[in-house]
Amino acid sequence: MSGFRRAGLIAFVALAALALAAPVPHAGAAGTRKHRPVEKGGSLAGARRSTPTKPAQATEPEAAEPAPSEGRNAGRVLVVRLEGPVSPVTAEALISSVDRAERQGYRALVIEIDTPGGLESSMRDMVKSMLASTVPIITWVTPGGARAASAGVFVTMAGDVAAMAPGTNIGAATPINLQGPMDSTLARKATNDAAAFARTVAAQRGHSIEWAEKAVRSAVAASETEAVDLKVVDFIAATLPELLAKADGRTWRRGEERRVLRVRGLPNDRIEPGFRQRVLAVLAEPSVAYILLMLGFYGLLFELQNPGAILPGIVGGICLILAFFALSALPVNYAGIALLLLAVVFFLAEIKVASHGLLAAGGILSMILGSLILFRSEGPRLPWTVIGGATAVTAAFFLVVVGAGLRAQRLAVRTGPAGLRGRRASVVERLAPFGMVRIDGELWRASAGNESADVGGDVEITGVDGLTLKVRPLTKEARR
Q: For residues 341 and 320, is the Cβ–Cβ distance under 8 A? A: no
pLDDT of 390 > 70? The answer is yes
Q: What is the mean pLDDT of residues 456-480?
A: 80
Q: What is the pLDDT of residue 177?
A: 62
Q: What confidence score (pLDDT) does residue 111 get?
A: 96
Query: In which band, very low, low, confident or very high, does the pLDDT at 138 lie, cut at 50, 70 and 90?
Result: very high
Average pLDDT score over residue span 356-376: 84
CA dihedral for 82, 86, 92, 96, sign (positive or negative): positive
Residue 208 has pLDDT above 90, yes or no: yes
pLDDT at 195 over 90: yes
Q: What is the pLDDT of residue 412?
A: 62
The answer to whether residue 1 scores a pLDDT higher than 70 is: no
- Looking at residue 476, what is its pLDDT? 61
Query: How many angstroms separate the CA atoms of 223 and 373, rounded?
Result: 39
Q: Which of 25-39, 81-95, 219-233, 375-389 has the highest mean pLDDT?
A: 219-233
Q: Is 353 exposed, middle or buried (0-12, 13-18, 19+ CB in 10 A)?
A: exposed
Among the residue ranges 92-106, 189-203, 282-296, 370-384, the one predicted with the least confidence is 370-384
User: How far from 303 is each of 10, 317, 405, 410, CA to CA, in Å?
Assistant: 14, 10, 14, 20
Q: Which of 40-44, 60-64, 420-424, 461-465 has the lowest mean pLDDT?
A: 40-44
Task: For residue range 225-244, list pLDDT tens digits in order.
Answer: 999 999 999 999 999 999 99
Residue 4: its pLDDT value, please?
45
- Among 68-72, 277-281, 461-465, the minimum mean pLDDT is found in 68-72
Average pLDDT score, the chain? 79
Q: Pick the closest to residue 229 from 252, 211, 253 (CA basis).
A: 211
pLDDT value at 330 more than 90: no
Q: What is the pLDDT of residue 422?
A: 80
Between the alpha carbon of residue 135 and those of residues 3, 205, 221, 247, 310, the distances in Å are 64, 14, 29, 14, 54
The domains found in the chain, sorted by start residue, are 2-23+285-410 (no CATH), 77-276 (3.90.226.10), 416-479 (2.40.50.140)
Residue with the larger pLDDT of the pair 408 and 428:
428
pLDDT, tens digit, 9 for 90 and up, residues 87-125: 888 898 899 999 999 999 999 999 999 998 888 888 999
Between 437 and 412, the higher pLDDT residue: 437
Phi and psi at residue 189, to the nearest 5°: -65, -45
In whole angstroms, what is the distance from residue 473 CA to residue 479 CA?
Answer: 10
40 vs 330: which has the higher pLDDT: 330
Q: Residue 474: its pLDDT value, please?
A: 85
Confidence of residue 163 (pLDDT cuts 50, 70, 90): very high
Q: Is 228 exposed, middle or buried (0-12, 13-18, 19+ CB in 10 A)?
A: middle
* pLDDT for residue 406: 62
pLDDT score recorded for residue 414: 61
Beta bridge partners of 27: none
- Please give the pLDDT value at position 48: 37
Section 413-440 average pLDDT:
82
Higher pLDDT, 412 or 472: 472
Residue 477 above 60 pLDDT? no
Highest mean pLDDT among 137-146, 177-186, 464-473: 137-146
User: With 70 as the cut, is the pLDDT of residue 394 above it?
Assistant: yes
3-class SS string, the chain:
CHHHHHHHHHHHHHHHHHHHHCCCCCCCCCCCCCCCCCCCCCECCCCCCCCCCCCCCCCCCCCCCCCCCCCCCCCCEEEEEEECCECHHHHHHHHHHHHHHHHCCCCEEEEEEEECCECHHHHHHHHHHHHHCCCCEEEEECCCCCEEECHHHHHHHCCCEEEECCCCEEECCCCCCCCCCCCHHHHHHHHHHHHHHHHHHHHHHCCCHHHHHHHHHCCCEEEHHHHHHCCCCCEECCCHHHHHHHHCCCEEEECCEEEECCCCCCCEEECCCCHHHHHHHHHCCHHHHHHHHHHHHHHHHHHHHCCCCCHHHHHHHHHHHHHHHHHCCCCECHHHHHHHHHHHHHHHHHHHCCCCCHHHHHHHHHHHHHHHCCECCCCCCCCHHHHHHHHHHHHHHHHHHHHHHHHHHHCCCCCHHHHHCCCEEEEEECECCEEEEEECCEEEEEECCCCCECCCCEEEEEEEECCEEEEEECCHHHHC
278 burial level (CB within 10 Å; 0-12, 13-18, 19+): middle
pLDDT at position 118 is 82
Q: How confident is the model at residue 402 (pLDDT cuts 50, 70, 90)?
A: low
Choose from 135-144, 411-420, 454-463 the range with maximum mean pLDDT: 135-144
CA distances 423 to 35, 432, 438, Å, are 67, 20, 11
Per the omega criterion (within 30 degrees of 0), is the bond before 143 cis? yes
The residue that leads in pLDDT, 432 or 129, is 129
User: How many percent of the chain have pLDDT more than 70?
Assistant: 77
Is 90 exceeded by the pLDDT of residue 140?
yes
Q: pLDDT digits over 167-182, tens only?
A: 999 998 887 765 555 6
